[in-house]
Amino acid sequence: MKYMIIFLALLSGCARFSGDELAEQLENIRGKDIKTAVLKLGVPRAKRQIDDFYVYSWGFSHNRTDLVVTPSTTNGFIGSTAFGSNTFTTTPVTNNRNCLIEIYFNKDNIIKGWEFDGNDCQYYVDSLKGS
């Protein structure tokens, strides 16, 4: 049981990303100079132009393997003596962690919009908050 609690504690630390929170932080920089985004998020991975707008992109994608621990109880007899034992099975589970943020700005370098996609953008939420 102790191992399952430790695993759940570790798992809960991974599942803290909120898309609503990222949207709120991105909305807070709308109307500001694109330098604000660069100062908070770091150097963008890509820049491209779409009509009269420019787009900076930040993001990553990587696989992460977590160990899932499954407890079980084994009961039996040795001769006429009953016994019980707790056993644990560990199974590796691989998940893709990713995040892509795109911020649109005009020729005056003013942020006009944004979009994001992914399941692990908490780093960017924290960066935008300044924490």
Does position 6 have pLDDT exceeding 50, yes or no?
no
**96 vs 69: CA distance, rounded Å:** 19
Residues 30-47: what's their mean pLDDT? 96
**CB distance 41 to 127 below 8 Å:** yes
Note the pLDDT of residue 26.
97
Query: What is the per-residue pLDDT across 82-120, written as a single tens digit (0 to 9) for each?
Result: 988 998 999 999 999 999 999 999 999 999 999 999 999
Is 22 strand, coil or helix? helix
- Which residues constitute the domain of residue 77? 2-129
Q: What is the pTM of this model?
A: 0.70
Where does the pLDDT of residue 12 fall: very low under 50, low under 70, confident under 90, or very high at 90 and above? Answer: very low
How many structural domains is the chain composed of?
1
* Alpha-carbon gap, residue 30 to 111, rounded angstroms: 5
Give the model confidence (pLDDT) of 60-75 as tens digits.
Answer: 999 999 999 999 998 8
